[in-house]
């Protein structure tokens, strides 16, 4: 799996230890990369995360290459990237490449409709990103990215296709950024009614509602929430308590000997 | 034993390493069925099959990225970016992915890949097919740059590059492909080690790639003027073996660095800086012969004048040492 610079969820999904991830974001020596990578560039090979990439579109190439190995190993590679990356050379070159060679890879575009501050529609031709796959003869699907079940169903189908030797898939999962691009961005360039509309479709709330519909009890979900909140608090506390790497001890080398 | 041609040395190194190590794969534009535009890879596709040797789309960025992704998941890719000039396209993947991975990952794994390209001017190819991109990568930690000057080194260095666990940029000068020379004495040639290819006492000339041959030719001509020249072949531009250069300068006290590339921002200037910082006490004179600060011109008269060839090197040495030119 190759993630974006906002790849913390990808890392957790692959099994990266939450405390090592939090410590990495805080530049601590107990971080999954010893504090050398930071929030945007997490790598955890032990858990199949070949990297999170600070350059948009980088993940697309990394997964395409991993798929060359995966094809030989009976595995599947996955790339996550944003709507902005679909206008990079990486996207067009790699989707063509993967289809030509029938690689077992799933390209997951997390379309949140903004490339940093700029609305996707004002810089992206053709409307949906998913339809771009058609020009390569590639299977694709546009998915409600805030619907956990819809995403799961589409992902299972795409992974199954890759595993079955039927080549790559492009999934466009439409979603939204609930906050600004970064801590210094209040996100005021977005129309308030648009923000409200999307916040009303918070995937956590939608999932909770669906779980209740399926018969789970509100008390049980609340208890689970409390359990995870407590776990996260302890995780962050432990990460904060860990020391910074000592420049005298961290004698990094340029090359592997 | 018969002599070895440079392009055959490249082919043989690839052939033997693909045979030796099942994780080595080789891909690029026109490298498989067509055998390479400079005929460096004929027969590899037929011998090793499409799983190991294959043609790619004209997608240099995807190629470098695919090599990175394959390298961190168990393969050892060798890719060919046909002309060095095209290396501006895959630069993001090489600089931000491959070169940084070993360090940034806290040494979880390295990225064993090789990027081969034909480089250099003098082939009447014009400004966009004549550059040597080694200097573009000179300031990037985590990526090695190899620059052979003869067939035996080309074979041994390419085998070392493929076996190396780090990303390696491998430069092949176009005006060396048809050069023949002795067979290699050893299986491999170590990366990052320069070689003294001619011993002398009056002046050290340091160069790489085609410049080594040109410097040797100039040294022969200058021997007739009573100037005894030592020639150092750098063989790698990163890591840069300045120790061998310093040892030579300690003997000759004079240093000329010959680079096919511009004086500003080149490896020659960098090397001169290191020698000045660490060997000033041994130094009576030091200078650079490089190209003009213009792109490579096309017209034969302009291109020949732009290149620092043997005549220009000999002329520069005579002028600097105050020796009259032969009439």
Which site among B56, B92, B98, B105 would you substitute to test the A interface, given the most A Cβ atoms closer than 10 Å to its Cβ? B105
Asked whether the predicted pLDDT for residue A251 surpasses 90, the reply is no
Report whether CATH 3.40.50.970 matches the domain A2-179+186-241: yes
A42 touches chain B (CB under 8 A): no
* pLDDT value of residue A182: 86
pLDDT digits (tens, 9 = 90+) for A40-75: 999 999 999 999 999 999 999 999 999 999 999 999
Asked if B103's CB is within 8 angstroms of A65's CB, the reply is no
Report how far residue A76's alpha carbon sits from residue A169's, in angstroms, rounded to the nearest whole number.
11
- Is the CB of residue A120 less than 8 Å from the CB of residue A84? yes
Task: Collect all residues with Cβ–Cβ distance below 8 Å to B323 and sequence separation of at least 6.
Answer: B225, B226, B227, B317
> How many C-beta atoms lie closer than 10 Å to residue B187's C-beta?
11
B105 touches chain A (CB under 8 A): yes
Report how far residue B263's alpha carbon sits from residue A39's, in angstroms, rounded to the nearest whole number.
39
Which site among A87, A137, A255 would you substitute to test the B interface, given the most B Cβ atoms closer than 10 Å to its Cβ? A255
- What is the DSSP secondary-structure string of B32-92? SSS--TTS-STTHHHHH-TTTEEE--S-HHHHHHHHHHHHTTT-EEEEEEEEGGGGGTTHH
Give ipTM to 2 decimals: 0.95
Query: Which residues of A are less than 8 Å from B165 in CB distance?
Result: 255-256
Query: Out of B70, B108, B142, whose CB is closest to A254?
Result: B142
* pLDDT value of residue A180: 87
A68 touches chain B (CB under 8 A): yes
Query: Out of B66, B92, B105, whose CB is closest to A37?
Result: B105
Report how far residue A24's alpha carbon sits from residue A34's, in angstroms, rounded to the nearest whole number.
7
CA B314 to centroid of chain Cα atoms: 22
A62 touches chain B (CB under 8 A): yes
Q: Report the chain B residue with the minimal C-alpha distance to residue A77.
A: B69
Q: Are strands B168-173 and B144-146 parallel, antiparallel or unpaired?
A: parallel
Asked if A51's CB is within 8 angstroms of B97's CB, the reply is yes
Helix (H, G, I), strand (E, B) or coil at A226: helix
Q: Considering only CA atoms, which of A53, A38, A43, A40 is closest in space to residue A14?
A: A43
pLDDT digits (tens, 9 = 90+) for B285-300: 999 999 999 999 999 9
Query: Which residues of B are less than 8 Å from A254 in CB distance?
Result: 102-103, 141-142
Q: In chain A, positions 3-32, which contact chain B (CB-CB < 8 Å)?
A: 32
A220 exposed, middle or buried (CB, 10 Å; 0-12, 13-18, 19+)? Answer: exposed
- Is the CB of residue B167 less than 8 Å from the CB of residue B99? yes
Report how far residue B12's alpha carbon sits from residue B34's, in angstroms, rounded to the nearest whole number.
17
Asked whether the predicted pLDDT for residue A87 surpasses 80, the reply is yes
Asked if B73's CB is within 8 angstroms of A90's CB, the reply is no
Query: Which residues of B are less than 8 Å from A33 in CB distance?
Result: 104-106, 108
Q: What are phi and psi of A229, to 5 degrees?
A: -60, -45
- What is the DSSP secondary-structure string of B219-232? HHHHHTTT--EEEE
- What is the DSSP secondary-structure string of B192-247? T--EEEE--SSEEEEE-THHHHHHHHHHHHHHTTT--EEEEE--EEES--HHHHHH
What's this model's pTM, rounded to 2 decimal places? 0.96
**Region for A159 from its dihedrals, namely left if φ exceeds 0, alpha if ψ lies in -120 to 50, beta otherwise:** alpha
> E strands within chain A?
2-4, 51-53, 77-82, 105-111, 114-115, 118-119, 139-144, 169-174
Two tokens, residue A154? 């589409």
- Sequence spans of domains, chain A: 2-179+186-241
CA distances from B145 to B41, B135, B166 (A): 21, 9, 11
* pLDDT value of residue B327: 58
User: On the CB side of B262, how many CA atoms lie within 13 Å of its CA?
Assistant: 11
Angle at A43 between CA A41 and CA A46, to 5 degrees: 170
Which site among A20, A65, A77, A94 would you substitute to test the B interface, given the most B Cβ atoms closer than 10 Å to its Cβ? A65
B273-308: b (≥16 Cβ within 10 Å) or e: eebeeebeebbeebebbbbeeeebbeeeeebeebbb
Query: Which residues of A are less than 8 Å from B88 in CB distance?
Result: none
Asked if A73's CB is within 8 angstroms of B92's CB, the reply is no
A221 touches chain B (CB under 8 A): no
pLDDT in tens, chain B (327 residues): 799 999 999 999 999 999 999 999 999 999 999 999 999 999 999 999 999 999 999 999 999 999 999 999 999 999 999 999 999 999 999 999 999 999 999 999 999 999 999 999 999 999 999 999 999 999 999 999 999 999 999 999 999 999 999 999 999 999 999 999 999 999 999 999 999 999 999 999 999 999 999 999 999 999 999 999 999 999 999 999 999 999 999 999 999 999 999 999 999 999 999 999 999 999 999 999 999 999 999 999 999 999 999 999 999 999 999 988 775
pLDDT digits (tens, 9 = 90+) for A105-152: 999 999 999 999 999 999 999 999 999 999 999 999 999 999 999 999
Residue B252, H or E segment: helix B242-252
Query: Which residues of B are less than 8 Å from A65 in CB distance?
Result: 65-73, 77
Q: Which residue has the tokens 């790339």?
A: A79
Which whole number is the average pLDDT over A217-240? 97
Asked if A69's CB is within 8 angstroms of B66's CB, the reply is no
* pLDDT value of residue B270: 96
CA B225 to centroid of chain Cα atoms: 30
Domains of chain B, first to last: 4-181 (3.40.50.970), 195-321 (3.40.50.920)
Query: Out of B75, B97, B109, whose CB is closest to A62?
Result: B97
pLDDT digits (tens, 9 = 90+) for A169-202: 999 999 999 988 888 888 889 999 999 999 999 9
B71 touches chain A (CB under 8 A): yes
Q: Report the chain B residue with the minimal C-alpha distance to residue A37.
A: B104
């Amino acid at each position: 799996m190759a993630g974006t610079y906002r790849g913390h969820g990808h890392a957790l999904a692959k099994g990266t230890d939450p405390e090592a991830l939090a410590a990495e974001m805080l530049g601590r020596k107990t971080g999954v990369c010893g504090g050398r990578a930071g929030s945007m560039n997490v790598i955890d090979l032990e858990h199949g995360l070949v990297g999170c990439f600070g350059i948009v579109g980088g993940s697309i190439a990394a997964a395409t290459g991993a798929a060359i190995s995966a094809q030989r190993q009976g595995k599947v590679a996955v790339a996550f990237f944003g709507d902005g990356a679909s206008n990079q050379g990486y996207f067009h070159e790699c989707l063509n490449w993967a289809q030509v060679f029938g690689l077992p890879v799933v390209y997951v575009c997390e379309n949140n409709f903004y490339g940093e501050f700029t609305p996707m529609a004002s810089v992206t031709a053709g409307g949906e990103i998913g339809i771009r796959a058609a020009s390569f003869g590639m299977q694709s699907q546009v998915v409600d990215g805030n619907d956990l079940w819809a995403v799961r169903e589409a992902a299972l189908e795409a992974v199954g296709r890759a595993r079955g030797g039927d080549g790559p898939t492009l999934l466009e999962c439409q979603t939204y950024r609930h906050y600004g691009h970064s801590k210094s961005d209040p996100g005021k360039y977005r129309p308030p009614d648009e923000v409200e509309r999307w916040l009303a479709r918070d995937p956590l709330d939608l999932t909770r509602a669906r779980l209740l519909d399926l018969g789970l009890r509100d008390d049980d979900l609340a208890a689970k929430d409390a359990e995870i909140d407590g776990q996260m608090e302890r995780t962050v506390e432990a990460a904060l308590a860990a020391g910074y790497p000592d420049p005298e001890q961290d004698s990094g080398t340029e090359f592997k000997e | 034993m018969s002599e070895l041609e440079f392009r055959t040395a490249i082919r043989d190194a690839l052939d033997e390493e693909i045979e030796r190590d099942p994780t080595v794969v080789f891909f690029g534009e026109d490298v498989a069925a067509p055998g390479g535009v400079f005929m460096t890879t004929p027969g590899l596709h037929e011998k090793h099959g499409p799983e190991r040797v294959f043609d790619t789309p004209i997608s240099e960025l995807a190629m470098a990225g695919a090599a990175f992704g394959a390298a961190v998941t168990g393969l050892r890719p060798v890719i060919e970016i046909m002309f060095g000039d095209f290396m501006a396209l895959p630069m993001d993947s090489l600089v931000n992915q491959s070169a940084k991975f070993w360090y940034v990952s806290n040494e979880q794994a390295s990225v064993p890949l090789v990027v081969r390209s034909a480089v250099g001017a003098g082939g009447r190819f014009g400004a966009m097919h004549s550059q040597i991109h080694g200097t573009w990568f000179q300031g990037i930690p985590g990526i090695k740059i190899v620059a052979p000057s003869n067939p035996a080194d080309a074979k041994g260095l390419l085998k070392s590059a493929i076996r190396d666990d780090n990303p390696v940029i491998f430069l092949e000068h176009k005006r060396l492909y048809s050069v023949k020379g002795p067979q290699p004495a050893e299986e491999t040639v170590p990366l990052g080690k320069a070689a003294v290819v001619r011993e002398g006492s009056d002046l050290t000339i340091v160069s790489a790639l085609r410049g080594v041959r040109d410097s040797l030719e100039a040294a022969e001509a200058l021997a007739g003027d009573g100037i005894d020249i030592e020639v150092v072949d750098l063989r790698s531009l990163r890591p840069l073996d300045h120790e061998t250069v310093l040892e030579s300068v300690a003997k000759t006290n004079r240093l000329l660095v010959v680079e096919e590339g511009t004086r500003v921002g080149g490896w020659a200037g960098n090397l001169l800086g290191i020698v000045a910082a660490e060997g000033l006490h041994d130094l009576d004179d030091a200078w650079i012969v490089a190209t003009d600060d213009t792109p490579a011109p096309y017209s034969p008269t302009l291109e020949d004048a732009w290149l620092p060839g043997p005549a220009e090197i000999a002329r520069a040495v005579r002028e600097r040492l105050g020796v009259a030119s032969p009439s």
